């Protein structure tokens, strides 16, 4: 294939992949901006810590007592998960549902003070500006279908980036890098600016696009883990009689998990019967203490009847890839400075996407005008 034909092919690939995904990418860039700074936005609201100040050394309430309190206060609900928010010290959050097999969106959150067993808040997460931004960003309120669709748009975005580089590379062999031909037409100036900003953001855009695609596959990856590693871990209990009577105290399960994973902290606990455990186990998910390892989980399966550890394994690489990609997608590894950099690149990408649309419309307009002039020239010759 000649160089000219290659250029035409890459142009067509770049044009159509960009046109298909641009509108959705603009939506993702716009909704992503407030999500990058969601912690800072919440801090600006001036919301005080949930747990009040108490004298130093105030003992914590046993977890099992907190669980019993939750059951007594919400007798029609069952506990599916327990977790701890690192941004809200001295609190423990319970996820309550109508049943263990209820849909994922069937839940009620209750946050307790883990020193007094008092209810601090029953947050309603499915409302407000940030909730709307998050749902638009992750699935457009369409569930798994929306996630997979946005994942496809992310793949097209990555292809558009690659094809754009293939088009820009020969141009830079003839001109200086960063050249913007200001003395030429407006469309040509925007073309040069589009190319320059696209190259400047290429690494960031590729990283964010790729991690975004991984995030859309989170539920698929979760299913693979459940059918693979988790199924192997609980295989010895296949066919075992259903649990009856009182379960082992939650505190005992936590103690066993901590002993099995020294230097790690609990992230959340899945009760028996949930998707993250089995019918016979507490699943205590431990995490590291560094910025990276705190994003990774290591599940410890504790026999819910005996309170003994039955298995503990590191997550497979494909699960860890999703765990690592989630904060990287929003620049959540380096504090506020990295978030500002992420926001600046986000804004530049909006300009790249907008200029791409402008160039397409301008090119079409110029092509139509050229055809009109050609027709106007040809018609008089036929009339003679």
143-176 pLDDT tens trace: 999 999 999 999 999 999 999 888 877 766 666 6
Residue 38 lies in a domain: yes
In a domain, 348, yes or no: yes
- Spell out where 40-115 has E strands: 78-83, 91-97, 108-113
> Would you say residue 191 lies in a domain?
yes
> CA 76, CA 79: separation in Å to the nearest integer?
10
The owner of tokens 């001036």 is 46
- Give the three-class secondary structure for 270: strand
What is the pLDDT, as a whole number, of residue 382? 47
Q: Which residues contact 289 (CB under 8 A, 6 or more apart)?
A: 263, 264, 265
How would you write the pLDDT of the chain (384 residues) with one tens digit per residue? Answer: 567 778 788 888 998 999 999 999 999 999 999 999 988 887 777 677 889 999 988 999 999 999 999 999 999 999 999 999 988 999 999 999 999 989 888 999 999 999 999 999 998 878 888 899 999 999 999 999 999 999 999 999 999 999 988 887 776 666 666 566 666 678 888 888 888 888 889 999 999 999 999 999 999 999 999 999 999 999 999 888 888 888 999 999 999 999 999 999 999 999 999 999 999 999 999 999 888 888 899 999 999 999 999 999 999 999 999 999 988 898 887 788 899 999 999 999 999 999 989 888 888 777 676 667 666 665 555 455
Query: What's the structural domain count of the chain?
Result: 1
Phi, psi of 301 (to 5 degrees): -95, 120
**Domain span holding position 208:** 3-42+145-214+335-379
Model confidence, pTM? 0.85
Alpha-carbon distance values, 62 to 67, 86, 101, 116, 303 (Å):
9, 19, 27, 10, 19
Count other Cβ atoms within 10 Å, centred on residue 159: 18
Q: Which two tokens stand for residue 377?
A: 């020239």
* Residue 155 belongs to some domain of the structure: yes
Q: For the purposes of burial, counting CB atoms within 10 Å of the CB of 272, is it exposed (0-12), middle (13-18) or buried (19 or more)?
A: buried
End-to-end CA, the chain: 43
Helices 186-200/143-174 angle, 10° precision: 110
In a domain? residue 350? yes
Does residue 88 come out as left (phi exceeding 0), alpha (psi in the -120 to 50 range) or beta? beta
pLDDT at 216: 94
Structure tokens at 110: 């209750």
CA 254 to CA 35: how far, in whole Å? 33
Taken in order 14, 17, 18, 20, the sign of the CA dihedral is: positive
Q: Quick count: other Cβ atoms within 10 Å of Cβ 196?
A: 16
The answer to whether residue 114 sits within a structural domain is no
- Asked if residue 195 is part of any domain, the answer here is yes
For 96, 167, 282, 331, the CA distances from 252, given in Å and listed in that order, are 21, 62, 10, 37
Q: Do you know the residue count of the chain?
A: 384
Geometric angle at alpha carbon 255, from 250 and 259, rounded to 5°: 150
Residue 27 inside a domain? The answer is yes
């Amino acid at each position: 294939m000649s160089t000219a034909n290659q250029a035409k092919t890459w142009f067509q690939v770049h044009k159509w992949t960009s046109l298909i995904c641009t509108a959705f990418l603009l939506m993702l860039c716009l909704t992503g901006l407030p999500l990058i700074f969601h912690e800072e936005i919440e801090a600006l609201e001036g919301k005080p810590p949930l747990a009040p100040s108490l004298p130093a050394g105030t003992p914590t309430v046993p977890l099992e007592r907190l669980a019993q309190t939750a059951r007594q206060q919400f007798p029609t609900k069952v506990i599916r998960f327990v977790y701890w928010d690192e941004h809200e010290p001295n609190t423990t959050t319970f996820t309550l549902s109508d049943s263990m097999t209820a849909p994922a969106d069937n839940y009620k959150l209750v946050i307790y003070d883990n020193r007094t067993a008092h209810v601090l808040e029953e947050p309603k997460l499915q409302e407000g500006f940030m909730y709307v931004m998050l749902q638009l960003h992750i699935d457009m309120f369409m569930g798994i279908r929306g996630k997979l669709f946005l994942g496809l748009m992310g793949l097209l975005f990555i292809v558009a980036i690659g094809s754009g580089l293939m088009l820009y590379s020969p141009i830079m062999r003839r001109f200086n890098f960063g050249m913007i031909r200001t003395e030429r037409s407006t469309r040509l100036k925007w073309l040069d600016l589009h190319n320059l900003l696209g190259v400047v953001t290429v690494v960031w855009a590729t990283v964010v696009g790729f991690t975004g695609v991984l995030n859309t596959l989170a539920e698929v990856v979760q299913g693979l883990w459940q059918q693979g590693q988790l199924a192997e871990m609980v295989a010895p209990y296949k066919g075992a009689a259903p649990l009856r009577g009182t379960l082992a105290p939650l505190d005992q399960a936590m103690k066993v998990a901590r002993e099995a994973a020294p230097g790690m902290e609990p992230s959340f606990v899945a009760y028996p019967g949930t998707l993250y455990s089995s019918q016979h186990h507490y699943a205590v998910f431990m995490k590291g203490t560094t910025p990276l390892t705190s994003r990774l989980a290591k599940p410890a399966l504790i026999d819910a009847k005996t309170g003994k550890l039955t298995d503990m394994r590191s997550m497979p690489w494909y699960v860890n890839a999703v765990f690592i990609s989630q904060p990287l997608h929003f620049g959540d590894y380096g504090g506020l400075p990295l978030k500002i950099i992420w926001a600046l690149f986000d804004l530049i990408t909006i300009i790249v996407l907008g200029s791409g649309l402008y160039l397409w419309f301008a090119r079409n307009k110029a092509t139509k005008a050229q055809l009109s002039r050609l027709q106007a020239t040809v018609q008089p010759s036929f009339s003679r």
